[in-house]
Amino acid sequence: MGQVHSHLTISPTSTKLAWMMHLRPCFNTAMHGTSAAFDLYFMLEQQDKRKPRGLVIGVDLKSMEPIKGAILLSNSDFTSSETREMIAKHLMGEKLNVVLSDMAPNSSGLRHLDHQIIVKLSFSVMKFSVQTLQKNGHMVCKLWDGNETNIVKETAQKFFKTVKIVKPEASRSDSAEIYVLCKDFLLDNE
């Protein structure tokens, strides 16, 4: 059985590139050197590393330039059922081993409102993860720290063995940006 890596991102280039550099050793693809933004990134690779095969699916609210070897769902909203159906079609029944979300709404400047919107996005990512991760899979989800951070963490703890709140070194110290790191999905979706 293959492994499928999922990456969900709407991010500033620096954060996106930091995640891509962190994950690059996992992905033996033609992504080297690209700075293309996309919301949803999948990679399917065989267990036999001598025979890599990959499936890359990118989803973004905006238009994207083509990336060799990738399926791009431009002008698509990850939260819509139509986009989820397109993703499922391309996955062909495979389960994911990583969901990485860097999605964030455009900031309104109203911290409390922005926090509520990103919490809603994080629950959307968590629901997607619960439906599509294989047992022992992982999820990383962007969040802006606020009064509902613990609710997101406590909900994730129902589905993952280990849940931590982390702040990457690349994130500005005055930024509310944090990530919910969830390891070892407890359910078996097979």
Question: What is residue 190's predicted lDDT score, i.e. its pLDDT?
Answer: 61
Question: What is residue 21's predicted lDDT score, i.e. its pLDDT?
Answer: 42
- In the structure encoding, which two tokens stand for residue 104, read together? 């964030």
What order do you get walking across the sheet with 133-144 strand by strand? 40-45, 3-9, 96-102, 133-144, 177-185, 160-166
CB neighbours (10 Å) of residue 167? 14
Question: What is residue 116's predicted lDDT score, i.e. its pLDDT?
Answer: 96
Q: Is the pLDDT of residue 163 over 90?
A: yes
What are the residues whose beta carbons fall under 8 Å from the beta carbon of 93, sequence distance 6 or more? none
Residue with tokens 């994080």: 122
Three-state secondary structure call for residue 26: helix
Spatial distance between the Cα atoms of 126 and 54, rounded to a whole number of angstroms: 24
The set of catalytic residues is 142
Alpha helix stretches (DSSP H) within 7-133:
13-23, 81-91, 111-132
Q: Please give the share of the chain, as a percent, with pLDDT higher than 90.
A: 31
Domains delineated in the chain: 3-25+37-185 (3.40.50.150)
